[in-house]
Structure 1
Amino acid sequence: MKKILLAAAAVLALSVGGIPPVQAQNAEETSFTRQEIENIVREYLLANPQILYEVQAEYEKQQRQAQREASRQVIAQEAERIFNSSHDGVLGNPDGDITVVEFFDYNCGYCKRALGDLDTLVKDDGDLRFVLKEFPVLGNDSRDAHVVSMAFRSLMPEKYDAFHRRLLSGSGRANEESAIKIALELGADETELRAAMEKPEIMEAFRDTYALADQLQITGTPSYVVGDEVVFGAVGSEQIREHIETARQ
């Protein structure tokens, strides 16, 4: 075993710095050639393959920790853009003591299922402020539906909650046509709505959201920001609630 450990140490040294093989420490030991070291380590790993899984698990753990630390720095630096952008819709208590930010796409099946999590969290927590960050990433239909959503909210913010729930819970694919249909049913004027859809602020908002997502290493929906943490995926209301309580503490 001692020879194996010495050999493994030598392989690591060679891989990072070209350091010569480990030399004998007493008369009973001999120096190893690189080939001998590699053969010993290979044989040991073949006999003990679980070590590779342990190494992979540790590597992934360190990567997750590095990602968390990087995200925390971004959240601290860009808190205003993340939590208080004028481009975003707000549900729940606008004056709540804690904010959950959701990056979502109207055509994301996981976002549709996560709508129930939003309802549960807002219903059970009267001090929760829930920010919806429109993040169209699933093609042109999604982009067009989100354009209508942004335009509708600018005209009728008091009905944005109803619009959001209806469009996200729809059975078909969200697009410009389906989004406009819902907007008109909720009382929007079509001429005003189409004019609002042309405003450059909408695309500026999307670009800002894409930039934030890139900084936070968000590549899919739904993703959440709670306190100083990024939560990836439709993890369910209970796990989000745990992050909320941690943030409050």
Structure 2
Amino acid sequence: MHRLALGLIAGLVSLPALAEEVPVTPPAATAEATMTEAERKAFREEVRAYLLENPEVLIEAMDVLQAREEEAALQRDILMVSTHSGEIFNSPNDWVGGNPEGDLTLVEFMDYRCSYCRKAYAEVEELIKADGNIRFVVKEFPILGEASLLSAQFAIAMRQLHGDQAYEAAHDALIALRGEPTPETLARLATDLGHDPKPVLDRMGSPEVMSVIQANHILAEQMEITGTPAFVLKDMVMRGYAPLETMQQFVAEARTE
């Protein structure tokens, strides 16, 4: 086989991950530029014939590329968590549940109108209760429209006015709410939770409430989080829903590091 064709195949397998943003020109590509048109045509035909006869080379190259991209993404997440650790794990704007003195902190970016957040809710509760040593932080991250925003505003207003226990009760109620969170619905909910609804509704659109939501959106953008639920555990970022068994594996892995 043409030596340059072999060089190009080797280059396919050894290309660096795209995420590394390192420009590379395989030796075969440089040599091809000096060929005559006839040589270039013959060279390309040899490469094509080799790949058709040995398609596993392309699979190997894609596996190498995928592994490198995954490693680059992991290193990017580690750096982002390290850079923003204070905002992620210790913001005074966030409710803290579970064991406040736990050896691990699990952070969830969530939206009350997200079906996967609702699905994850019971499993996260079970994870935290069964483990007994997880500190749990909730980040209000409304991204699914007006209903999401109203729900988050209500929960934050409840915490700011009435404290953590009131927030937890509101959080649980909003997760279970099946109707639309209209002002009338939220007023009834505040009353059911034992609070005068007017101060809560008045607080919802305040700068104090909106600044919490804005800060969480900025942080999510910095963390490359675009959907819910999303979890941060130690230096790992988990984007999307994961079943209880997977979450337990993440916790076990975090404790062994």
Mapping for residues 81-92 of structure 1, pairs under 5 Å: 81-92=87-98
Contact in 2 for aligned 1:105/1:135 (Cα 8 Å):
yes
Distance in 2, matches of 1:178 and 1:52, equals 57
User: In 2, Cα distance between the equivalents of 1:61 and 1:244?
Assistant: 23
Is 1:246 equivalent to 2:253 in the alignment? yes
Contact 1:107 1:173 in 2 (8 A): no
2:155 aligned partner: 149
Task: Give 1:15 shift.
Answer: 6.2
Structure 1 residues 149 and 21, CA, compared in 2 at 3 Å: closer, same or farther? same
User: Residue by residue, what CA displacement relative to the aligned partner does 1:55-82 show, whole Å, maximum 9, x if unpaired?
Assistant: 3333232222212111111211211100
1:104 corresponds to which residue?
Answer: 110
Name the CA distance, whole Å, in 1 between partners of 2:9 and 2:102: 55
**Letter in structure 2 aligned against 1:20:** A
Indicate yes or no: 2:144 matched with 1:138: yes
Deviation digits for residues 148-206 of structure 1, max 9, x if unmatched?
11101212221222221221123334455444432221012112112221321222222
Q: Structure 1: which 5+ runs fail to align?
A: 24-31
For structure 2, the residue ranges without an aligned partner over 5 or more in a row are: 16-23
Aligned to 1:113, which of 119, 144, 148? 119
Output aligned runs, 1:122-133, within 5 Å. Answer: 122-133=128-139
Could you tell me how far apart the structure 2 residues matched to 1:58 and 1:10 are?
12
Asked if 2 retains the 8 angstrom alpha-carbon contact of 1:102 and 1:225, the reply is yes
Which of 57, 79, 82 is residue 63 of structure 2 equivalent to? 57
Q: Deviations over 1:35-63 (max 9, x none)?
A: 22222222233344444343333323222
1:19 paired to 2:30: yes
> CA 1:167/1:66 → structure 2, altered by over 3 Å: closer, same or farther?
same
CA distance in 2, matches of 1:129, 1:164: 17
Distance 1:35 1:197 in 2: 68
Question: Which residue in the other structure is 2:225 paired with?
Answer: 218
The letter of the residue matching 1:57 is D
CA contact (8 A) 2:7 2:28 kept: no
Cα pair 2:2 2:43 within 8 Å, conserved: no
- 1:227 maps to 234
Q: Return the alpha-carbon distance in structure 2 between the equivalents of residues 44 and 177 of structure 1.
A: 69
Separation in 2 of the partners of 1:117 and 1:210? 25
